[in-house]
Each structure stands twice: as C-alpha cells, then as structure tokens.
Structure 1
Amino acid sequence: MDIYIKQALIHQFSPEDTELRLAEQTITITPKIEEYLRKKVERVYSDEAKTGQFEADNPFLDYFTGDLLSQSVKIATRWKEEFSLSENLKTNDLLFINFEKNGVEHFAFLRISLRENLTHVGNDLANPLKLTQNNLPSAGSAPDEALIVNLNNYKYHLIEKRIKYNGSFLNYFSDNLLQVKPIISAKKSIKTLEQTAQKIADNFQEGDFHFQSKVKSAIYSHLEEDNALSPEKLADQLFDNNLTARLTFVDELKEVIPEKIIFDEIDASRQLKKFENQKLSLSNGIELIVPNSIYEDAESVEFIQNENGTYSILIKNIEDIKSK
C-alpha cells in the first residue's frame, strides 16, 4: 500500500466543557510522525471497515471546500454536535490528514481516544513514576473511529462506534454526521455467512462437524481465488444436493448482504489466516489443527464413523513426528 502523507493537523475535544481546542495550522511532519500517521491510515483499510460511496447530493461533500484547516474546523464542529450526546465522553484527538494513496488524493478523519499512562521520570528518585495525561495509543492500534474518502470518486472506508444516548445506542457517525447507509464490514459479513449457513444446515439435519469444516474450507478457497465472497457461489458449494437449502440461504442473506463481499482495498489476510486451518476439538480432550489442503486429502486424513456412532480419525503417511 503506497501512502504518502501530505498534510495533517490535530484538533482536540475535551469532555470537561465539551468544547474543541482548534489548531491554527498544520503540523510539521517529521519521519516519526509520518510513520505514525501512515500506520493509523493503513489500519482503516481492514476487514472491520464499512464501505460505500457518497451520492453526488450528499450534504457532507460540502465540507470538502477550501484548505485542510477550514475543512477540518467545519467537520470537527459538526462532529462535536453529534458526539457530545454520548453518555461516556473522553478526551479525543481529532486527526485530519490529506494523503495520496497510489497517486490518488484522499482525505482522512481519525478520532483517537487519549489515555492515561505511567511514565518513568528519572530525576525524582523518591517518586520515579508519574501519571501522564493525553497519551496517544501505539501506531499499530486502529483509530477509535475513522473516515477515509477517495477524493476522486468519493468512495469511503468507515470505522465507527455507537454512542449511548437516552438508553439507546446510535450509529451517530454514519446516520447523523455522514447521512449514509454503508455496506457492513467484511468481518461482520463473513460472520453472518457462517451463522446463516449453520442455521440452514441445522434445519435440514446437516449441521455436523463435517458441514462446519466445509463452510470454513469454502470461505478460504473463495477468498484465496477471488478476493471476494458470493452468497450464490457459496450456496452452490455448501448445499450442492439440496435446491431448497441453496435458495433459502441466498434469500436469507439478501437484506444483509445484497451483493457479493468484495475486499475493495481491504486486506484479506486476517480472514485468510482465520480460515486456513481446520481446528477440531475432540470429546477426549485432543485438539487438532489441520491445514485445509491436508484436511480435504483422503490420502492424509480419514474420518471413520463407527457402528456405535463414535468417530475415529486416521492420520496417514506421516514421515516425522516432533514434540513441541
């Protein structure tokens, strides 16, 4: 991912008076700061990001006029109006960044909740540890909330958290601030696929461990081959001998996943790693981790159902065994 940080500035939100401490200029981007900002931006392109594209008449696009400072003040002020309703307010840094990704101009708004940390102060021998305020989290951690907008086509990636207001939880960021209906994250979509497949299989008395393994294997192979997941394609593979189950699976997913899950600029490696192995927990306490390629090879692993209803697992052609 080729990201070049061009400009950045930081406003701060204080819960004490629910006011903004507005910056008056952009920050000097040193190599260390550039690395921090770049890693924060990279974390937004994850399987936890919701995605979508702003319509041409979306009012939020009006904020993208003027320079970064004027844009950020308008957005931060509007953001504060919505966020201040939350019943659990903390001090937050609001980072606004102009950057290029693969040569295309992008805008980022990151909300980062600040922490209290103990710091070792060497010149006070009696009290070497001091509690310091307003500490930024590590570069490798994801922002608490984030919006990245491709300024060429207005596609966006969004990480948001609900706020609690009057006993209810609100998606204030997407519903009120952006006024959009994003596509749910790839991570949540895949979880929904798994749960729906299991539900359908249980209804047709097919939901044993073989089916669960089949789901994992199908998701892994489709991700590896297509970098996408199609409910129709999965249905054909999971319920190949049951037309009713196939149609029911696709129909139940229509509202939540109306189209195939595409990893558009999103790193699929975490999901691939999650599904690359079959993890089996046996009733006798034994746990097995078997790579998909071996699990599906009858010359390597064989599952035998005994006459008394129990299972035996035969692992074949082992050349070497090591204790770990």
Structure 2
Amino acid sequence: MDIYIKQAVLHQFTPDDTELVLSNQLLAITPKIEEYLRKKIERVYSDEAKTGFLANNSPFFEHAKGDLLEGSVQIAQLWKEEFVLSENQKTNDLLFVSYEKNGLEHFAFLRIALRESLVHIADNSESPLMLTQNNLPSAGSAPDEAIIINLQSGKYHLIEKRIKYNGAFLNYFSDNLLQEKPTISAKKSIQAVEKTAQKIADNFQQGDFQFQSKVKSAIFHHLEEDGELSPEKLANDLFDQNLTARLSFVDQLKDVVPETIRFDEIDTSRQLKKFENQKLSLSNGIELIVPNNIYQDAESVEFIQNDNGTYSILIKNIEDIKNQ
C-alpha cells in the first residue's frame, strides 16, 4: 500500500476534566513516527471498516478538506461533545493526518486510547519497575476508532465503537458526528451471508455439515475469483436446485446487505485465509483440516452416508504421511 505521510497533528482528551489538550503546531514527523502513522492507517483498510461517501456539503468533510491544524481543532471539539457522554472514558490521543495514497489526497482521524505499562528503570535498584501512564499501543494494532477519507471522492472507511450512555449503546461517530448511515463492514456482511444461508437451508431441510462446507467453498471461490460477493451468484451456487430457496436467500440477505459485498481498497487475505480450509470436528474426537480444492475433489476425499445414518470419510491417493 503506497502511503506518503505529509502532515500530522496530535491533540489529547483527558477524562479527569473532560477537556481537550490542543496542540498549536504540526507534529514533527521523524522516520519512526512516520512508520507508526502509516501502519495505523493501513489497519483501517480492513474488513472491519464500514464504508460510505460524504457529501460535499458535509460539515465533517468541510473541516477535513481545509487546513489540517485548523480543521483538526474543529473536529476534535465536535468529537469531544459527542464522546463525553460515554460512561467508560480513558485518556485518548487524537491523531489527525494528511497523507497521499496512490497519488490522491487523503485525511485520517485516529483515536488511540493510551495504556498503563510497566517499565524498567535501570538506575533504581530498589524499585526497578515503575508503572507509567500515557503509553501508546504498538504500531501493528488497530486504532480504537478511525476514519480515513479520500478527499477527491469523499469515500470513507470507518472503524467505530459504540459508547454506552444511560444504559443504551450508541453509534455516536456515524450517527451524530458524521450524520451518516455507512454500509456494514465486509466482515459482518460475510457473517450475514453465512447466517442467512444456514437459515434458508434449515427451512428446506438442507442444513447439514455438507451444506455448511458448501457455503465456505462458495465464499472462498467468489472472493478469490471476483474479489466480491454477489447475493445472486451465491444463491445460484448454494441453492442451484431450488428456485424458491434462491429467491428467499437473496430477499432476506438484502435486508441486511443491500448491495454486492465489495472489497475496494480492503485486503481480502484475512477472509481468504479463514475460508481456504474446511475444518471438520467429528463425534469421535477426530479433527480434519482439508483445503477447499481437495475437499471438492472426489478423487481425494469422499463422504459416505451409511444406512444407519452415520458417516464414513474416505481419504484417497495419499502418497506420504508425516507425523507432525
């Protein structure tokens, strides 16, 4: 991923007095800080991000498109007004970043909750371990919340956490700060595909382990071949012999996932890894991990249903066996 960090601003929110500690200057970007910011931004392009497009007249978008220092102060203040309602508050660093991705201007807002950590004080022999505050998490971890915006198209990727207020959980970032209804994340969309497919299969008495394996194989195939998941194509694969089931699957899935699940700018490797193998747990304690291409090959694996209702699994043409 080609990301070039241009400018950054760091503000801080402290829960003790629910105030912002605002910076009046840009952050000096050293190589280590550049690497930290870049890795944090890369983690936002994930299957857990919600997506959408901001209108040109969106107040949040207007602040993001302007001067980074001035816009960061305005957004931080708007954010605080919404976040201060949260019942579980911690000290947070608010990082605002101007960067280029593949030559296009982007804006990022990263909320990072600070941690307590033990450090070793070398010159203190009696108490060498000391608890320190305001420690940033590692670069490889995802931000607690974040939004990144393509300043040309207005497309955004959003990772948000609900806050608890008066016993209710609120999507304060998208509902109040952005005033947007983003599409659900690719990860949750795929979970909806699995849940809906299983529900339809159960209604038509098809919901056995072989159908569950069929769902995984179909998801893996379409991700690998198309880089997206179409409800209609999945329906054709999963319920090819039953028109009513196909129509029911598409209709019910669109209540949750109204459009094709696309992975634009999102790395599909996590989902491909999740679905690349069939993992079977047998009643006798045996567990099998079978790659999809072998699972679907009758010359390699055969599932036999016996007259008494039990199953037998025949694994064929094994050239070598190693004990690991």
Same fold flag (TM > 0.5): yes
In the TM superposition, 1:157-306 aligns within 5 A as 157-306=157-306
In the TM superposition, 1:1-324 aligns within 5 A as 1-64=1-64, 66-324=66-324
Find the aligned partners of 1:289 and 1:209 in 2 and give their Cα distance.
14
Identity of aligned residues (%): 76
Moved over 3 A (4+): none
Give 1:24 shift: 1.1
Find the aligned partners of 1:320 and 1:90 in 2 and give their Cα distance.
56
Look up the equivalent residue of 2:294 and give its one-letter code.
Answer: I
The residue matched to 1:313 in structure 2 has which SS?
strand
Q: TM-score, normalised by structure 2?
A: 0.99
Look up the equivalent residue of 2:162 and give its one-letter code.
Answer: R
Any stretches of 5+ residues in structure 2 without a counterpart? none
Find the aligned partners of 1:201 and 1:123 in 2 and give their Cα distance.
67
Query: Is contact 2:220–2:275 with CA below 8 Å preserved after alignment?
Result: yes
Give 1:289 shift: 0.1
Find the aligned partners of 1:204 and 1:115 in 2 and give their Cα distance.
51
**What are the superposed Cα offsets for residues 132-174 of structure 1, whole Å, 9 maximum, x if unpaired?**
0000000000000000000011100000000000110000000
Find the aligned partners of 2:59 and 2:25 in 1 and give their Cα distance.
26
Give 1:49 shift: 0.2
Look up the equivalent residue of 1:305 and give its one-letter code.
Answer: Q
Find the aligned partners of 1:242 and 1:66 in 2 and give their Cα distance.
55
**What are the superposed Cα offsets for residues 200-250 of structure 1, whole Å, 9 maximum, x if unpaired?**
000100000000000000000000001000011000110000111100001
The residue matched to 2:133 in structure 1 has which SS?
strand
Find the aligned partners of 2:136 and 2:64 in 1 and give their Cα distance.
27
The residue matched to 2:189 in structure 1 has which SS?
helix
Given the superposition, is the C-alpha separation of residues 306 and 150 from structure 1 closer, same or farther in structure 2, using an over 3 Å criterion? same
Residue range with higher mean Cα deviation, 185-194 or 54-63? 54-63
Find the aligned partners of 2:66 and 2:214 in 1 and give their Cα distance.
53
Query: Is contact 2:85–2:165 with CA below 8 Å preserved after alignment?
Result: yes
CA RMSD of aligned residues (A): 0.7
Look up the equivalent residue of 1:167 and give its one-letter code.
Answer: G
The residue matched to 1:152 in structure 2 has which SS?
coil
Find the aligned partners of 2:285 and 2:112 in 1 and give their Cα distance.
43
Give 1:64 shift: 3.1
**What are the superposed Cα offsets for residues 272-291 of structure 1, whole Å, 9 maximum, x if unpaired?**
00000000000000000000
Find the aligned partners of 1:38 and 1:75 in 2 and give their Cα distance.
21
Give 1:60 shift: 2.0
Q: TM-score, normalised by structure 1?
A: 0.99
Any stretches of 5+ residues in structure 1 without a counterpart? none
Look up the equivalent residue of 1:94 and give its one-letter code.
Answer: L
Find the aligned partners of 2:98 and 2:20 in 1 and give their Cα distance.
21
The residue matched to 2:182 in structure 1 has which SS?
coil
Give 1:176 shift: 0.1
